[in-house]
Amino acid sequence: MSKKIVFIFFLFFGLISYNAIASEADQVNTDSEDFDTTTIEDEIYDPLEPINRAIFSFNNVADRIVLEPIAKGYKKLPSPLQSGINNFLSNLRTPLVVVNQLLQGQGENAVQSSGRFVINSTVGVFGLFDVAEKVGLEEKEEDYGQTLATWGVGDGFYIVLPLFGPSNLRDTSGMVLTMLTDPVNAYAVSEGEAWLVPTRTAVNAVDTRSKIIDEVNALRDNSVDYYAAVRSSYYQNRNAAINNVDDTELTPLPLISIEFE
Amino acid sequence: MKFKLIIIFFIIFISKNLYSDETSDWLKKEIDIILEAYKNENLSNENRFLLVEKTINDNFAGTGIAKFVAGEAWKKSDKNTKKIYIDNFKRHLALNIASMMQGYSDQTYELTKSKYDKKNQVTLIDMEIFSDTGSVIVTWRVKESKDRFFVIDLIVADISLVVTKRSEFNSMLKKVDNNLSKFNEILFEQNQISYNKIAN
């Protein structure tokens, strides 16, 4: 029996069973154990919640009236220009990515990222074009927060930073380290062009925000507790970044069992 | 003996691939229904959402997810409260997914990878959505039961919709002492706000 015939056979029976029991689709049971399959929300230590919520509200207003409108405007720029800005900013981050890869013992990744930096800074015209991606050198992000986590430093408590958004004690320390050791920022300051530092941060924020306009709006418009939703999202995203594994393997799997009543 | 082993191996290999193909085909069909609804300009916003909601309710393990995200509050509640909660949750889930999928409606996509997680008996299907400036990966977690497939979770940028909802609901449920009846009022109100945004 050829693969095609078997497929048609399965599809046929799939369709029949689909129609036969479609009305039962919503009648699903779970086991009591299903409620205990993840404790991710209980692992988030948030002793500053009242203060964090106040800062979060402020950030939310700032996002609505400043960042989101600018990000929407930015998204109207020609795609090659947006890609160019994104590539340029990403290339500027690469030296610190290499440092963090070395600190985490990722020698091979560090070599690849260094290769990316050299190729994109030269052939890619100061990083405006991601030529390295085309020759198989994929972009990988690492920061001090991830490095500290790899060294066994715990999250610490959850913290919402004014304008910078969700973080925790470890990642905030990582962010400060980034600010202090970034060679591009250090060069700009040494050349008397300190204004470039906040400008770079602001453009980075707009570029990042422009990529998640729909996702953020979907979350914000449909959450019963937007603060808790963002907090959970932050931790899931960071855990995935720290562990450098396939997202589908890492994200806690809610073991929802399905049985027809 | 060797020949028999090869045959068995071949059959297992073929059926495993067929299973993944079948799941992906099913998922593609359902995703297309949702995305086509957004492209159909003849549909009013309200009818478009109702069509999307029906597709989601038919294909998501809504009740199972509802119970999961309610956590401890579920056990303490009576049958009628649970029923109201499940109805509220299903609408909430549909509003969340519809709102997210709306943003992807004018973009092309491809189901790029399908993997069967034998341990958890779940199929993981990666959907790559392309835009002019890059792409985003959405992973669908699909579980089979009685010859039917059910989506049990959706992951965007390493963030699980179900885990996020559970965290969000737990936070709100703590404020009402895990009283599902009181939570129903909050959820209903939120659904009304979201529905008005998406349907008008």
pLDDT in tens, A150-194: 999 999 999 999 999 999 999 999 999 999 999 999 999 999 999
CB B164 within 8 A of CB B93: no
Tokens of A43: 């692992």
Amino acid at A257: S
Strands B134-145 and B148-156 come out as: antiparallel
CA distance B36 to chain A (A): 18
Amino acid at B120: N
CB-count burial class (<10 Å; 0-12, 13-18, 19+) for A224: buried
CA–CA separation, A111 vs A94, rounded Å? 11
Beta-carbon count within 10 A of B112 CB: 12
CA distance A186 to chain B (A): 30
Query: Across the A/B interface, how many CB contacts are shorter than 8 Å?
Result: 200
Q: Between A222, A224, A226, which is nearest B169 by CB?
A: A224
CA distance A183 to chain B (A): 28
- Mutation site for B-interface testing, chosen from A76, A158, A225 by largest number of B Cβ within 10 Å: A225
- Mutation site for A-interface testing, chosen from B143, B158, B178 by largest number of A Cβ within 10 Å: B158
Percentage above 90 pLDDT, chain A: 67
Tokens of B161: 């919709």
Enclosing H/E stretch for B30:
helix B2-39
Q: Which residue of A has its CA nearest to B69?
A: A35
Q: For residue B29, what pLDDT band results from cuts at 50, 70 and 90?
A: confident
**pLDDT value for A43:** 65
Beta-carbon count within 10 A of A32 CB: 9
Handedness of CA A189, A191, A193, A196 (dihedral sign): negative
Enclosing H/E stretch for A232:
helix A226-243
Contact B122 A14 (CB under 8 A): no
pLDDT in tens, B120-161: 888 899 999 888 777 888 899 998 887 888 999 999 888 899
Contact A254 B163 (CB under 8 A): yes
**pLDDT value for B3:** 61
Higher pLDDT, B19 or B84: B84
Query: Which is nearest to B65 in space by CA: A255, A23, A113?
Result: A255
What residues pair up with A166 in beta bridges, in sequence order? A160
Q: What's the complex ipTM? A: 0.84
Contact A223 B99 (CB under 8 A): no
CA–CA separation, A77 vs A87, rounded Å? 15
Q: Which residue of A has its CA nearest to B195?
A: A222
CA–CA separation, A97 vs A62, rounded Å? 29
